[in-house]
Amino acid sequence: HNKITTSVLRQYKSEGRAITMLTAYDYSMAKLLDEAGVDMLLVGDSLGNVILGYDSTLPVTMEDMLHHVKAVCRGTKRAMVVADMPFMSYQVSIKKAVKNAGRLLQEGGAQAVKLEGGTAMADTVKAIVTAGIPVVGHLGLTPQSVNQLGGFKVQARDEQTAQTLLDDARALEAAGTFALVLECIPDGLARRVCEAVAIPTIGIGAGAACDGQVLVSHDLLGLHSGFTPKFAKKYANLHQEIKAAVEMYIKEVQERQFPAPEYSFKMADTMLEKLY
């Protein structure tokens, strides 16, 4: 397995090969997704919602991110691991931003970081890239700004905000980002961003024109029964399958059907059998 690098992703784009990215937050899922062949694993700050049970990404800390980035990296051989910079880890000062981005690589083991925002973040991105840390940009619906955006909705729906987003994309490219996540924008605008910048675009709710796609793996797998947004295609219904399996286990234990003899040890076996 050759590790996916920024130059491999550039090559994929030039070949017209679509880039695949999914979120991962732990060792076993990262291993599974990596073995399935996904190009990039995002330890998203959606960690806050999906794994930690917060109602936004704002409470997620650097320590939370590092804990999960380390676990994901231990399970990953081929995919590039991208770590989200959590809220307030890069907005306060450029110095703090570089330091925290560095921690996600040095302590966490990630290969790149992602942060939200456009032109206003250009100098921050430049400083992080100068330190030798690859950066992914994130435009459109940026969940860390939910209190400013006034909720989770499609962004840049008029020409003026569309122009701002195009300027943001150009500013991020000029600042040195190697890829751009575009979240919840009209597909026509995503197409214009793709024409405006040379770096790969990775869409989520941004239509088919992007160079790659990203989804929250729990949405794609149907791991939860709650709300999933329109753009999140459910490729499996694991919530139902897991629930059925657990209900079966409960029933078999209560009815004393499990463990049957084949799942038990005889005194004579214990000397011979290797358990793990």
Residues belonging to the binding site for Mg(2+) are 45, 84, 116
Q: Is 183 a catalytic residue?
A: yes
> What tokens were used for 224?
């939860």
Which of 159, 183, 247, 273 is an active site residue?
Answer: 183
Half-sphere exposure of 233 (CA within 13 A, CB side): 6
64 near Na ion, rule: CB under 5 A: no
What residues form DSSP beta bridges with 212?
19, 202
84 near ligand KIV, rule: CB under 6 A: yes
Measured CA to CA, the distance from residue 170 to residue 196 in angstroms comes to: 7
Residue (127 or 181) nearer to Na ion, CB: 181
Choose the contact partner of 41 out of ligand KIV, Na ion, none; CB within 5 to 8 A by kind.
none
Q: Are 90 and 100 in contact (CB under 8 A)?
A: yes
Q: Smallest distance from the beta carbon of 3 to ligand KIV, in angstroms?
A: 21
Q: Are 217 and 22 in contact (CB under 8 A)?
A: yes
How many chain residues are in contact with ligand KIV, going by CB under 6 A? 11
Choose the contact partner of 214 out of ligand KIV, Na ion, none; CB within 5 to 8 A by kind.
ligand KIV
> What tokens were used for 105?
């690589």
H helix runs in 42-93, sequence order: 47-50, 62-74
DSSP state of 224: -
Residue (114 or 241) nearer to ligand KIV, CB: 114
46 near ligand KIV, rule: CB under 6 A: yes
Residue (181 or 190) nearer to ligand KIV, CB: 181
Which of 34, 45, 64, 168 touches ligand KIV by CB under 6 A? 45
Residues 96-125 contacting ligand KIV, CB under 6 A = none
Side chain identity at 88, as an amino acid letter?
M
HEC-encoded secondary structure of 109-171: CCCEEECCCCHHHHHHHHHHHHCCCCEEEEEECCHHHHHHHCCCCCCCCCHHHHHHHHHHHHH
199 near ligand KIV, rule: CB under 6 A: no
214 near ligand KIV, rule: CB under 6 A: yes
Measured CA to CA, the distance from residue 25 to residue 272 in angstroms comes to: 38
Which of 12, 19, 34, 44 touches Na ion by CB under 5 A? 44
23 near ligand KIV, rule: CB under 6 A: yes
Residues that bind ligand KIV (CB under 6 A): 23, 42, 44-46, 84, 181, 183, 204, 214, 216
Residues catalogued as catalytic: 183
